[in-house]
Amino acid sequence: MSNTLQLSAEQRRQFDEDGFFLLEDALTPAEISELTTVIDALYAKYSVERNLGPHEAFQWRNVVALDPVFRRLIDHPKLLPLVVDLLGYNIQLRTSHLDVRPPVLPEVAQKPLGARDSFFPWHSDAPNFGWPLVEGVVPYMEMKIGYYLTDLTQHNSGAICVVRGSHKRPQKDADGNVIVDPQDIVEVNVRPGTALIWRTALLHCVTPNLSDHARKCLYYGYQPRWIRPSDYDHQEPAVLAGCTPVQRQLLGELGTGSHEYNGPDPLVHPVSRYWRPEDEDIPLKAWAEAQQ
Ligand SMILES: O=C(O)CCC(=O)C(=O)O
């Protein structure tokens, strides 16, 4: 692709240099309300089933398999062009999760932000045993979109914090301690409906939620299709039923619906369609070309 679909030069600069940018009003009030209704119902059900205390956080992984309302976000028209601009079209979802963080007790805020022994230590996302490093730095492997559904404009309301530019440098000292210059910490204090588009190699943590309301948000991680997802191997047929070819691709399948993952001659000449997709395997390519 020669041109970008939607990404501005300033967004590109921020994504490369800072490791993130914000998109306000990514979700409409109607979308926020629809998502929140489903999340509240899930939280009500699972907080009883899991015997969660009033201050305990609730997370659900592979949320796209849980309800069609979450599936619709994987190719949200405001965000998908940005994802394709930032990662190309041979991509899939790596993870999708919802997070509810009720207000915590004040003592939780006693530890320094992101401390090793705090409720949410600084980290960047990686599989067990880590990503390969190039001169101590994680190459660009994936990105995430955070959708924030509740008001996070106040300090210590449970917002994510990112360390500006930390994706571009080694992150630990010789003793294994995470290196964070306080001047680089950005607390993502945003209104409901804002999206955070970020590199998961950024160091991040979460502030204690000392507000009077639970923080509710969703994260969708995207990666090239030749990496394996973290939340699923293949999605269940019921999840894929009714999905568009683009959605099927993003859910890790071949856009055609074919199961010939190793090509038409897998015994003699196996060729992974994730490595070497034909155009019909990646409907996102035709979609992207049609946008231009
Ligand atoms: O709950 C948050 O905002 C942080 C989520 C997080 O650590 C992640 O998406 O990797």
The pLDDT of residue 1: 45
Atom of ligand 1 nearest to the CA of 99: 1
- CA 33, chain centre distance (Å): 20
DSSP string, 7-64: --HHHHHIIIIISEEEETTSS-HHHHHHHHHHHHHHHHHHHHHTT--TT--EEEESGG
Q: Is the pLDDT of residue 188 over 60?
A: yes
- Say if residues 28 and 193 touch (Cβ distance below 8 Å): yes
Instruction: Band the pLDDT of 91: cuts 50, 70, 90.
Output: very high
**Would you state the structure tokens that stand for residue 6, as one six-digit string?**
């939607």
What is the rounded CA–CA span in Å between residue 24 and residue 5?
18
Q: Do 33 and 41 contact (CB within 8 A), yes or no?
A: no
Is residue 58's pLDDT more than 90?
Answer: yes
Determine whether the shortest distance from the Cβ of 160 to ligand 1 is under 6 A. Answer: yes
Mean pLDDT of 106-118: 94
Q: What is the pLDDT of residue 3?
A: 82
Ligand 1 atom nearest 204 alpha carbon: 7
Distance (Å, whole) CA 170 – CA 168: 7
- Average of pLDDT values for 86-102? 98
231 lines ligand 1 (CB under 6 A): no
Average pLDDT of the chain to the nearest whole number: 96
Q: Is the CB of 219 under 6 A from ligand 1?
A: yes
Averaged pLDDT, 25-49: 97
Report the nearest atom of ligand 1 relative to the CA of 200: 10
For ligand 1, the distance from its centroid to the CA atom of residue 272, given in whole angstroms, is: 32
Nearest CA to ligand 1 atom 3: 160
pLDDT value for 167: 98
Pairwise pLDDT comparison (292 vs 56), residue with the higher score:
56
Mean pLDDT of 204-213: 97
pTM: 0.97
- 206 touches ligand 1 (CB under 6 Å): yes
Q: Separation of 239 CA from ligand 1 center, angstroms?
A: 24
Q: What pLDDT sits at residue 275? A: 96
pLDDT band at residue 182 using 50, 70 and 90 as cut-offs: very high
Over the stretch 244-271, which tens digit does the pLDDT of each residue have? 999 999 999 999 889 999 999 999 999 9
CATH architecture of 9-236: Sandwich (2.60)
Query: What percent of the chain clears pLDDT 90, i.e. is strictly above it?
Result: 97
Mean local confidence (pLDDT), 121-130: 97
What are the residue ranges spanned by the domains of the chain? 9-236
